[in-house]
Amino acid sequence: MKISWLNNVQAPYREPMFRELARLVDFEASFFFSEEKVRHWKWRADPGYRSSVVPAWRLPVPAKLARRLDNEVGILRPGVASSVVRGADALVTQVWWQPAHLAAMMHCRRRGIPYLLYAESTVDSRSVGGGPADRLRTWVFRNAGAVIVPGPAAAEAAILNGTPAQRVVESVNSVDVDLYGEGVRKLREPGSDRGPHRFAYVGQLIERKNVHSLIRAFATIGGNPTLEIAGDGVDQDYLRQIAVECAVTDRVRFLGFLEEPAVLRLLARNHTLVLPSTEEVYGFTALEAHVAG
């Protein structure tokens, strides 16, 4: 069996899954951007699975819409959709509204190749109501060979979007309990629960994550606490300026994007993780912190 996977960029956290798929089937991942501009991920070849960056154009969108989407919008160049799914028994994709994904899904429909969607959104997190966008979403979900969801709330949304119930495959939200549980506890130093309170944030530095409110709220707390901010994004300079305005630069540290081992150390040395987002599909970081204690 050959499985093709199409996504915008090569996300480091998906690579263990890609390697496992490549061990089991003929697997190939295609990405239509070589770099993620918010988190600065760059494509590079991995010996554990086949991957490539396929030709695509970036579609400019208004700044206000771009902040809501979180992802850049891409359009596959002519003929690319055909090359991505050539010889595949199934295509795996994620973003129903992304033009590059839509081109590949439509090509699959014409060739009789099933496409599989991964969908996390719940009914409560839906940001598109009626109109043409809703009809497009219904078409994508109704015609998917399967929709993989991380829990019952996302399954309900997928069915509401038009997916027949028998095509919804429900998985679970999970983290590596050993890594984020015992792993973090082993890194935690004796007596680390004492001293001034230590707060942490892990995530993108974009408007929806609401880190500006976190910094301003942090500045009002007495007792000389600290705040470590792990992540990268377009709002980084703006957030640094807020820290200056609030006179907390001596107690707020910007760490940039951290790989997983560094995130474990961050959780081990801090007391409280704050997730101040105005909107989240799930909030996986909060679950990791909960497992870490």
> Residue 126 — pLDDT band, cuts 50, 70, 90?
confident
Alpha helices in 86-233, H assignment, sequence order: 99-111, 132-143, 152-160, 177, 183-187, 211-218
Same domain, 106 and 233: no
Same domain, 122 and 218: no
Same domain, 154 and 273: no
CATH of the domain at 46: 3.40.50.2000
Same domain, 142 and 281: no
Task: Answer with the one of 170, 198, 221 that is the final residue of a domain.
Answer: 170
The Cα–Cα gap between 96 and 75 comes to 13
Same domain, 94 and 139: yes
Same domain, 55 and 32: yes
Structural domain total, the chain: 2
For the entire predicted model, the pTM comes to 0.72
pLDDT of 159 > 90? The answer is yes
Same domain, 156 and 190: no
Q: Which domain holds residue 223?
A: 177-291
The residue among 199, 189, 188 whose CA lies nearest residue 264 is: 188
pLDDT at 64: 65
Same domain, 181 and 166: no
Tens of pLDDT along 5-19?
A: 999 999 887 888 899
Same domain, 154 and 23: yes
> Residue 68 — pLDDT band, cuts 50, 70, 90?
low
pLDDT at 186: 94
Task: Answer with the one of 130, 148, 170 that is the final residue of a domain.
Answer: 170
> Residue 122 — pLDDT band, cuts 50, 70, 90?
confident
pLDDT at 70: 62
| Under 8 Å between Cβ of 93 and 100 | no
| Under 8 Å between Cβ of 121 and 36 | no
Same domain, 88 and 211: no
